Structure 1
Amino acid sequence: MLHGAIGASCQLKTIAGLLASDYDVHLLNFPGHGGEAFPEEAFSIPLFSTSVHHYIQKHQLKHPVIFGYSMGGYVAMHLAKQHPQLIRKIITLGTKFHWDETIANRETKMLNPETIAAKVPVFAAGLEAIHAPNNWREVLQRTTDMLLAMGQSNPLQPEDYKTIQTPVLIMLGDRDKMVTLEETVNTYKNLPNAHLAVLPDTPHPIEQVNAEMINWFIRQ
């Protein structure tokens, strides 16, 4: 199970708990997230993809199913592109597949640490807690740099999805204000072996998602 940008694996524990009775569930943090040490290199999708690959090898996981929330879904897709035989199936939720300069600039404006600390101190405190002992402000700055780079050049281009043979279920909440239905459908159409689900009464933040519903779709 792969978490989203500026997030951590602890945010997926509720869904993981529902799956644990029947599945061997693995929660991992990307480098620099959830207290993991900051990498020497910049945050990037290839970096996170490589970290998941190493985790799979270290734990000798044979053709795992990967659930990726938001950025975690993008990382799973990138991993499937780079290592076609590694993953059995992918499930994404609220993954933003299309990035350009305008989108990156808009999204990164919401990642200003000082603005967050001043206007939404509860959210800032939550970020501090899940990333300790790391500085949550550095997590946001590194994420900002990554998204701006993605705005210049997507790690995955539309033609890349056409080569991913891994079975994929793409899920999008009908209340998601970050990810558009258009980009989700376009990606779904480009994938050779994909299914699409639009979830009712579902916004983008993972904390507001119906875990029971996600559990049902993952099991299906």
Structure 2
Amino acid sequence: MNGNLDVTGTKPNKTRKTVLSLVFGGLVGFLGATGVIALVEAGSFGTPDASQVIALLVALIYLLTGLMAALGVAAPRMGAKFLNVEDEDELLEQKQVLAASGWGMVALGLMLALIALGGPGGVLDSHLALVGAVLLGAIGTWLSMRSVKLADELMRATMNEAAATAYYFVFVVIGGWAMVSYLGYVPVPSMLDLLTLFWALVLVSAFWAAGRRGMLKQR
């Protein structure tokens, strides 16, 4: 009897957390995307083309996702309310790996943004963009490798599966686009389009692998 009461008693909390996470994530994403579009229209980013704007939006996803993880770890009591963890204690246990992963995503998001803004029509000098992108890429890679080293067995297996999935996604999507483009069926993609796709497919692969292992279920 008590067991039934306990189970039903946890449902409202899970429902509330799910709603809170969805609303918070959706609001942050909407405001972020709106801000990027507003800055583009105001000329703050120069005169970027569609490929550059899409790259900036993908970079924004990396930035927001990484910041939510990193800041959630920095303030575990608040982070436990919108991150998919059991409670504050679990967040503290995963502090190092989540912090490394979160800040790694921030670095990679900034890297893509610098590349986009350093191209034709962008506001950054190409040399500055190149140096910054290489530096941020090195930082992001180091933090990603650190997160793998600190991860537990389940998370490490998920990361490995995500990496393998990303390879196949890149092979099929980017390779397929290159094939039909070379044969004249579709326009030739720009180098920035390919980079943006790579960033996006890696992110999709991570969520795909996490979902397959049940790690996206609300806890």
When normalised by structure 1's length, the TM-score is: 0.32
Question: Greater share of strand residues, 1 or 2?
Answer: 1
When normalised by structure 2's length, the TM-score is: 0.33
**Which one scores higher on RCO, CA 8 angstroms, separation ≥ 6?**
1
Question: Greater share of helix residues, 1 or 2?
Answer: 2
